[in-house]
Amino acid sequence: MNQTDNMKNVSNSKGNNLQADVVIVGTGVGGCFSALNLSEDLSIIMITKSDLESSDSFLAQGGICVLHDDDDYDSYFEDTMRAGHYENRKESVDIMIRGSQDVIHDLIGYGVDFAKEDGKLLYTREGAHSRPRILFHEDITGKEITSKLLAQIKTRKNIQIMEYTTMTDILISQGACAGIEAETSDYKKIYIHADQTIFASGGIGGRYQHSTNFPHLTGDALDISKKHGIRLEHLDYVQIHPTTLYSKKPGRRFLISESVRGEGALLYDKNGNRFVDELLPRDVVTKAIQEQMKKDGTDHVWLSLEKIPKEIILSHFPNIYQHCLEEGYDATKEWIPVVPAQHYFMGGIWVDSDSHTSMPNLYAVGETSCNGVHGKNRLASNSLLESLVFAKRAARKIMSEKQMNKATA
């Protein structure tokens, strides 16, 4: 079946029809930042498959990267390329790094409270980074950023949010995206007609038995894109996070942030021996853990925070400390069991440097997109930054095209 066979004729759509200038699928940082960078004279509808707080953006613990200073550019670029096995799209890496300081300035303007020391921003370091360049808010940076962006979204009269609404298809008119088809929690079909559509629907963790992602994130936009011949890229580039809290309970795995190892946490085998450099890229550490578990015949390895001062654990990692305590482990006194789990998707819907897909009037941002920043393996704490930088570019491209169309009308 070709693309033409799959097309939906907008004029023949039946059911509840809604109209907007822009429809955004997803309410994580990518979707929210896109909306906030669009003009307030545009009507915007945002949908999310679950409730507003059930996006992986809320789960990001470690922090968000930023170009520390001009002298940091070369090392930041190299760190990102090396982590991605030099399969990164260089133009995209450059765009992300050079756009980082403006994005942080925007976030602070929205009220995001990054950690400070003596009134100055405090930077931490994570695995595969050659220097500290990561801003954070305790160990719930994603929650801090996303909640502040959502608070801004709720003040905008031009933005309508629909929770528990699942995209089931896109609308197509003359070969271009013309909005989406969706289904509400009570199985009601709706058709949202829009001049521009942005996919910001997150990752694919719901397809895996063990994942740090919310289970409802199943890559719906990918399936729809494949159906309509929209270009996809690197679908096999899936990152496994080396350290999640080991549990026999069903459901999402709790992430033990990379920044814990950046602050000095060490990995041990069943005999109490170190077996890997904890600050190597995630895929390397993951492979070492998997090999060690196979060698030892165990379901997990051990992570020790004993070299991190107790006050740092309680102030920098309070959420991790509390969650481990609830599972029966006091991270200030004893080792905690950890195991690798699916964490992040580097592939996705191919986009250009402005987050535009191969279909007219359709954009993709965040984890569902593939702009090539991450290459084959994402550098720690680049995900929030990448989503924000390219969400802003999508919004600006939409605005520039709208102004261009006005000028030629």
131 catalytically annotated: no
**What whole-number percentage of the chain has pLDDT above 90?**
87
Confidence of residue 408 (pLDDT cuts 50, 70, 90): confident
* Residues 285 and 383 grouped into a single domain: no
Average pLDDT over residues 357-367: 98
pLDDT in tens, 236-245: 999 999 999 9
In a domain, 56, yes or no: yes
Average pLDDT over residues 12-33: 88
In a domain, 11, yes or no: no
SS3 assignment, position 22: strand
In a domain, 266, yes or no: yes
Q: How far apart are CA 16 and CA 73, in angstroms?
A: 50
Confidence of residue 10 (pLDDT cuts 50, 70, 90): very low
- pLDDT score, position 263: 93
Average pLDDT over residues 18-36: 98
In a domain, 218, yes or no: yes
pLDDT in tens, 256-265: 988 899 999 9
> Of 125, 133, 282, 378, which one is the catalytic site residue?
282
Q: How far apart are CA 256 and CA 139, in angstroms?
A: 10
Task: Choose one of 295, 319, 342: the last residue of a domain.
Answer: 342
> What is the distance, to the nearest Å, from the Cα of residue 21 to the centroid of all Cα atoms in its chain?
25
* Residues 46 and 186 grouped into a single domain: yes
pLDDT in tens, 69-118: 999 999 999 999 999 999 999 999 999 999 999 999 999 999 999 999 99
In a domain, 7, yes or no: no
In a domain, 1, yes or no: no
Average pLDDT over residues 187-195: 97
pLDDT exceeds 60 at position 6: no
What DSSP letter does each residue of 262-278 carry, written as one string?
HTT-EEE-TTS---S-T
* Residues 248 and 383 grouped into a single domain: no
Number of domains in the chain: 2
pLDDT in tens, 41-71: 999 999 999 999 889 898 888 899 999 999 9
In a domain, 381, yes or no: yes
